[in-house]
Amino acid sequence: MCYRGLSLLLLLLTALGAAVCQQQPQQQPQAGPTPGISQSAAATDGGASSAPFGASSEPSGQFGLAASIGSPAGEPRLQFQGTATVAYSPDPLTPYQAVGLGCGLGFVSPTFQTNYVGVSSEYFDDAQACGRCITLQCDDQSCAEPGKELPALVVDVCGSCSGSDLSIAIPLFKNLTGREAGSNPSIVVSWDLISCAPYTVGTIKMLVKAGGSAFFQAFGFSNYVVPIAQVQVNGTRLQQGSDGFYSYNPGSPIDPSAPLAVALLGANREVLRATVPSLRSADLGFQFTPQA
């Protein structure tokens, strides 16, 4: 009777152990780290697959050139992105031609006699863009060297442009793309603001605008390496117009033979002063200290 009771107990324990084993889930083998994905990143993504390094989820052209027109990884694009279209004369820009453009610049350094652009009215901002320098990058499939950059000077407003689009000089187009404009005068570009200092020769020039009177004159300034923030003539602060010129209306007759005390305040807070012997265009003989 005792052996029989013991046998029944053993059978009961065996059956109970089998039931427990069936309910316990089998432990899956732990996978090693996924190549190219850190363990912390994989945990954060909840096991979702991560894009390989250098890939972008943005639309094609939004970041980097397509592999077919850039390097395998693509060329990074600059801050402002748009279309550049050929305009202007194929010859180097003369002072007379420069004055006739939207900024009315009376002098252009040699580099910018071929490398100049017009910006949209939005970016022209009532001539605030005048005399600023940009680096222009060719992001187009037709570029001989995708990603090539060249400096350029803003000298005009482009009436047919919108946003970051540009009108560019014919020599600049040719040097940037390595081809003639021909039947395809527009290219995809990106650009950004840069210092004018490495490309500017000489000192700041002042131009007296034609058509003034005994009570009103206007002055233009060019060839500066730091943007001009404020202009004073004989202690009077001048206002810049949408044509790039600063209006001078002192409220009393202007003596054309009297000297003019000119003061320029740069965007770097530097103040430059000069005395012009009479009412005439002049080389002011000074230059702002380039910003680091």
- Could you give the number of structural domains in the chain? 2
Asked if 96 and 179 sit in the same domain, the reply is yes
**Are 88 and 170 members of one domain?**
yes
pLDDT of residue 15: 47
Looking at residue 291, its pLDDT comes to: 77
CATH of the domain at 150: 2.40.40.10
* Same domain, yes or no: 210 and 191: no
- For residue 121, what are the contacts with CB-CB under 8 A and spacing of at least 6? 157, 158, 159, 161
Is 138 within the bounds of a domain?
yes
User: Do 181 and 210 share a domain, yes or no?
Assistant: no
Domain boundary among the residues 199, 234, 263 is at 199
Residue 146 lies in a domain: yes
Residue 218 lies in a domain: yes
Q: What is the pTM of this model?
A: 0.74
162-177 burial, b at 16+ Cβ within 10 Å, e below that, comes to eebbbbbbbbbbeebb
Percentage with pLDDT > 90 across the chain: 71
In a domain, 161, yes or no: yes
Same domain? For 248 and 230 the reply is yes
Give the residue-averaged pLDDT of 37-65: 30
pLDDT digits (tens, 9 = 90+) for 90-114: 999 999 999 999 999 999 999 999 9
Confidence (pLDDT) at 225: 97
| Number of CB atoms found within 10 A of residue 275's CB | 10
Residue 248 lies in a domain: yes
Residue-range definition of the domain harbouring residue 96: 80-199
Q: Which residues on adjacent β-strands are paired with residue 231?
A: 264
Query: Is 276 within a domain?
Result: yes
**Residue 217 sits in the same domain as residue 121:** no
**Two tokens at 72?**
């395998």
Q: Where are the alpha helices (DSSP H) in 24-118?
A: 39-44, 95-99
Q: Count CB atoms within 10 A of the CB of residue 240.
A: 20
DSSP state of 36: T
Residue 238 and residue 194 share a domain: no
pLDDT in tens, 163-217: 999 999 999 999 999 999 988 999 999 999 999 999 999 999 999 999 999 999 9
18-29 pLDDT tens trace? 443 444 444 443
Domain boundary among 199, 227, 252: 199
217 and 193 together in one domain: no
Q: What is the CATH number of the domain that holds 258?
A: 2.60.40.760
Q: How far apart are the first and last CA of the chain?
A: 103
Residue 226 CA to residue 156 CA, distance in Å, equals: 18
Residue 239 domain flag: yes
